[in-house]
Structure 1
Amino acid sequence: MKRKYVPDLTRQMAVCQANYARLQKLLPKAGEHPVREFRVVWHQKHVLVRLHIDEEFRYTSSVVMTHIHEPYSPWLESPQLVIRLYHDALMAEVICARRRKQLSGVYGYPNRNMHQPDEKIQLNLFLGEWLNQCLNHGHQLEVALPE
């Protein structure tokens, strides 16, 4: 019999704290344009990673991270993650992916949407990989401001 998935909260918190630190290096400072773009090479393909500060409050912020594959194809949907930054706890976690409801910490399996039991930690690890790519190999693009 397969054992029920139990999340490792210590690991999950460490991943979220590391992602917060990475995002602090990549996001624009207060008062700057709320969008940063990085061109990254991923498996011999060029990908544009866009970080957009969607909401900012005293203790939390929301950031939308979008991957745009180059050359752009209308047939390939760009992955998008919504990330919540908790400034008082110094943590950042993926709260949902494109067109999904907020993620649960654990999913029974099988389920209607075919989420993995550990979907949330997998998306937070995925976020960390992309943030590392932007930090280590990304080329920041200048964002043209509207006049």
Structure 2
Amino acid sequence: MAIKRKYVPDLARIMAEGEANYRRLMKLLPSLEEGASYRYGLHLPDGHQGEISLRVTDSFAYTTAIEVEQSLGSSPWLKAPRLHVRLYHDARIAEVIAPKGRMLSGVYVYPNPGMKAPDEKAQLNTFLAEWLNHCIDYGLSPERVDVIRL
């Protein structure tokens, strides 16, 4: 019987992904002013329209907290994904700190009562990267960005 090895985070990959996500978010967020909200329309492969919204929830000298949410239209089957992301301006890194309001741990022992993957945080940061890349590559042009001041 094979012995399962303990999950060890790949710090170099995590930091590189955080730096890349920071750069992607800087492209999509013209302003980091608290309360600023931006929506990007997306054309989905199945022909439906989607939307990704970025909302600055807190803004401080060295950090900014944003909420990234995708609206899927009126799908009764899927809940819209929502991620809380923190930008660290001094380190130029972005990381997912909470999906749908629950805080994440860097590593989970497995198995656990919530059946969280040992690398759940790394997976969510990768998901954020794919989401932002899709928004940059296929979102409506910057001239069509709706800016809402709350």
So what's the TM-score if we normalise by structure 2?
Answer: 0.87
Determine the structure 2 residue equivalent to 1:111: 112
Counterpart check, 1:52 vs 2:55: yes
| 1:109 Cα deviation from its structure 2 partner | 0.9
Structure 1 CA distance for aligned equivalents of residues 33 and 4 of structure 2: 51
Q: Which runs of 5+ in 1 are unaligned?
A: none
Determine the structure 1 residue equivalent to 2:29: 27
Which of residues 63, 66, 69 in structure 2 aligns to 1:63?
66
Structure 1 CA distance for aligned equivalents of residues 10 and 149 of structure 2: 43
Counterpart check, 1:137 vs 2:141: no
Deviations 1:55-75 (A, max 9, x none): 0000000000011002x2455
Structure 1 CA distance for aligned equivalents of residues 113 and 84 of structure 2: 22
So what's the TM-score if we normalise by structure 1?
Answer: 0.89
Q: Which runs of 5+ in 2 are unaligned?
A: none
| 1:88 Cα deviation from its structure 2 partner | 0.1
Q: Is the 2:52–2:71 contact (alpha carbons within 8 Å) kept by the matching residues of 1? A: yes
Q: Are the structure 2 counterparts of residues 127 and 84 from structure 1 closer, same or farther at C-alpha, using a change threshold of 3 Å?
A: same
Determine the structure 2 residue equivalent to 1:7: 9
Q: Percent identity among equivalent residues? A: 47
Determine the structure 2 residue equivalent to 1:126: 127
Moved segments of 4+, more than 6 Å: none
Q: Is the 2:65–2:87 contact (alpha carbons within 8 Å) kept by the matching residues of 1? A: yes
Deviations 1:9-65 (A, max 9, x none): 010000000000000000132559711111123342432100000000000000000
Structure 1 stretch displaced more, 87-96 or 20-29: 20-29
Q: Is the 1:52–1:64 contact (alpha carbons within 8 Å) kept by the matching residues of 2? A: yes
RMSD (Å), alpha carbons = 1.9
